[in-house]
Structure 1
Amino acid sequence: MTAPMSVPRIVDHPDRPYVGVLRTITMTTFGEVADRIPELIAWLGRHGVALAGAPFLRYRAIDMAADRLEVEAGVPIARSLEEPVEEEGAGFFAAALPAGRYATLTHHGHPDRLAGVIGDLLAWGEKEGLTWDLAERDGVERWGCRLELYETDPRVEPDPANWDTTLEFRLA
């Protein structure tokens, strides 16, 4: 049984600018990308760029058989950047999450329960006849936009059992 969550719904989003960093990781090396979020936020602060929402992980490619994932850590920003993102060796870039319709729900509880919540969202989408912005080839899922938004600041609420995570999966 998964932790309490909201009821899935569909929302429309415009393009959403962000600054991010991309890494190829495994299920045991998530920290290589997730731990970059504070660096991104610090960079934005140093450059006077306003945040515009919760930091996120964006899953671009998932190959569970090979334990290989292409994942971005990102922070939404209030406006697109005119200047290039430069930080010595950081690999930061500016981009935009694509506009479109997204299936979404919010999970309240420890992030280690997200796998079950993701399964619930995917099952709901199948029951509703939804088509994901997803291409599968040779066992690799390539997502147009699959997000986990981390709504809770761990500096304010250190107990992961009280964190809120919003899932947003773009529809085709």
Structure 2
Amino acid sequence: MKAETIIGPVSIVEKPDRHYAGIRLQTPFAGMFAVATRALKELRSWSKRNDLQEQGPYFLRYYHCDMSDIMEIEAGFVTRAVPTDHPAIRPAVLPGGTYASLIYRGNGLRGNQALMQWGRDSGTRFEAIDPALSESYACRYEAYLTDYRLEPRKLLWEVELSIKLATA
């Protein structure tokens, strides 16, 4: 069964600070999703051992995502629990603020392209970590809204893509 790509409309939403546990990584774009999948599996294992698996959602955060260079990403899990028993899992915060957000299912590249195109078309600026770097984001993430235990096929997951807007 081939999954149909569905991309919802862009909405502007206010989000509070959200605490999470994450594994931050640097990887080339080629092979990035295999690296991210391993990190997400490690987070799921950790959350299960600590009886936190019903919290969430799990997400993939993009700090620097220049596909021709090294990507800096983080696999995360929304929780207030502080990891103390794992050498790679660290506490962090998805910062509160105003975000452009959409929900997609299917092809993640198309979902991301749609939100980036909306930003260009509307003249919206996204908040950068370092404005001198290409594709640098204070907070850009894809939250996996579908429970992976109920639907293992990633192309059928609903994914919330959100990027923090720059302030005036």
Structure 2: state its 5+ residue gaps.
Answer: none
Aligned-partner residue type, residue 163 of structure 1: W
Q: In 1, distance between residues paired with 2:42 and 2:153?
A: 22
Tell me which of 23, 26, 30 is aligned to 2:28.
26
C-alpha deviation, 1:80, in angstroms: 5.4
The answer to whether structure 1 residue 63 and structure 2 residue 29 are counterparts is no
Secondary structure of 2:92's aligned partner: strand
Cα distance change, pair 159–48 in 1 and its aligned pair in 2 (3 A): closer
Secondary structure of 1:36's aligned partner: helix
For the Cα contact (< 8 Å) 1:85–1:94, is it kept in 2? no
Q: In 2, distance between residues paired with 1:63 and 1:125?
A: 17
Cα distance change, pair 108–15 in 1 and its aligned pair in 2 (3 A): same
Q: TM-score, structure 1 length as denominator? A: 0.83
Tell me which of 119, 122, 125 is aligned to 1:125.
119
Structure 1: state its 5+ residue gaps.
Answer: none
Aligned-partner residue type, residue 30 of structure 2: T
C-alpha deviation, 1:13, in angstroms: 0.8
Deviations 1:39-79 (A, max 9, x none): 2122223234465332111001123333x1001000001x3
Give RMSD over aligned pairs. 2.1
- Counterparts of residues 133-148 of structure 1 (less than 5 Å): 133-134=127-128, 135-137=130-132, 140-148=134-142
Q: Percentage identity across aligned positions?
A: 31
Runs of 4+ with deviation above 3 angstroms: 48-52
- Counterparts of residues 6-155 of structure 1 (less than 5 Å): 6-30=8-32, 31-49=34-52, 51-66=54-69, 68-77=70-79, 79=80, 81=82, 85-87=84-86, 90-109=87-106, 113-134=107-128, 135-137=130-132, 140-155=134-149
Aligned-partner residue type, residue 29 of structure 2: M
Aligned length: 161
Cα distance change, pair 133–46 in 1 and its aligned pair in 2 (3 A): same
For the Cα contact (< 8 Å) 1:23–1:70, is it kept in 2? yes
Secondary structure of 1:142's aligned partner: coil
Q: TM-score, structure 2 length as denominator? A: 0.84
Larger CA deviation: 149-158 vs 14-23 = 149-158
Q: In 2, distance between residues paired with 1:65 and 1:167?
A: 21
Secondary structure of 1:140's aligned partner: coil
